[in-house]
Chain A
C-alpha cells in the first residue's frame, strides 16, 4: 500500500522556538491533512490542504501542499507548552478504489520544555 515518511520522529525544543516537520510519499496525493493528538485523546484535525502549492495558516501553524503533490510540511511558530503531543500527516488519493482512505505518517512526537 501507499506509505508516508514523516520526519523527524521526535523533537525536544524550548518554549518559544519554531518547529518544522514534513511528510514525503512515493505516491501522489490529492489532499494533505495534519492532525494533532494530545496525550490521552484522539487526533484532531489542524489543517487541510487541497491544492498543490497551497499554503494555509491556522494561528501559529502553517502548512504547505508540495508542488509535486508528494510532500507536505507543517511549521509551528513560537512554540508553547500546550503544543506538546503527536503530530500526524495524512494523505488522501481520491482515485481508484480507495474510497477516501487516508494514509497516515508515523507521527512526530513534540516535547516543549518551559
Chain B
C-alpha cells in the first residue's frame, strides 16, 4: 500500500519566516506534487516534479519553491511566509502522469501564518 507521509499535521509560523513542508513517499513513484486546498477553490497545483532534481511550476507557484534531491522526498519551501499562504497543503505522488495512474495523497499539513 502506497504511503505518502507529510512531516507535520499542523504548523503555525510568523509572517516573514522561511517554512519547509516535507513529504516522503515509499513506493518509488516518479512523480510528486504539491497542492494547496482552500474552501470553495478546490485543490490548486503549486509545483510538481517528474524526476529527481526536476521541477515544473503548477498553476499558483508564486511565493513558493520546491526541492527534490532524492526520489522519495519532495519539499515545499515558503521563502518568506505571508498570511495569504495560510492554507491546507497536500502532497501527492503517482507512478505515471496524474491521470494515467492515480494520485496518492498525504493527510495534509494545515499551515497558519500569523
> Would you call B105 and A101 a contact (CB within 8 A)?
no
User: CA A107 – CA B90 in complex, angstroms?
Assistant: 15
Once A42-B92, A45-B102, A45-B103 are accepted as A-B contacts, the answer to whether A104 and B97 lie under 8 Å apart by CB is no
B-binding segment of A52-60, A65-73, A77-85, A92-100: A92-100
B74 to chain A, nearest CB (A): 14
In the bound complex, residues from chain A placing their C-beta under 8 Å from that of B44 are 104
Q: How far is the CA of A41 from the CA of B56 in the complex (A)?
A: 26
Query: Which residue, A31, A33, A42, A102, has most C-beta atoms of chain B within 10 A?
Result: A42
Q: Does A63 contact B (CB under 8 A)?
A: no
How far, in angstroms, from A9 to B42 measured CA to CA in the complex?
10
Q: Contact at A92–B99, with CB atoms within 8 Å? A: yes
Tell me which residues across on chain A come within 8 A of B58, comparing CB atoms. Answer: 101
How many positions in chain A have a CB within 8 Å of any CB in the partner chain?
27
Instruction: State the interface size on chain B (CB cutoff 8 A).
Output: 27
Contact with A along B1-43 (1 / 0, CB 8 A): 0001000000000000000000000000001000100001111
A1 and B40 contact, CB distance less than 8 A: no
- Flag if B42 contacts A107 (CB, 8 Å): yes
Alpha-carbon distance A100/B100, docked complex (angstroms): 8
Contact indicator per residue, chain B 51-62, by CB within 8 Å of chain A (1) or not (0): 000001011000
Among A40, A45, A48, contact of B107 (Cβ-Cβ < 8 Å): A40
Interface residues of B in 86-114 (CB under 8 A from A): 90, 92, 96-100, 102-103, 105-108
Q: Which residues of A pack against B, CB within 8 Å? A: 1, 4, 6, 9, 30-31, 33, 35, 40-45, 48, 88, 90, 92, 94, 99-102, 104-107
Contacts beyond the supplied A45-B102, A88-B42, A106-B42: 18 A-B pairs with Cβ under 8 Å: A31-B99, A33-B99, A33-B102, A40-B107, A42-B90, A42-B105, A43-B103, A43-B105, A44-B105, A48-B99, A92-B97, A92-B100, A100-B100, A101-B59, A101-B98, A104-B44, A106-B40, A106-B41
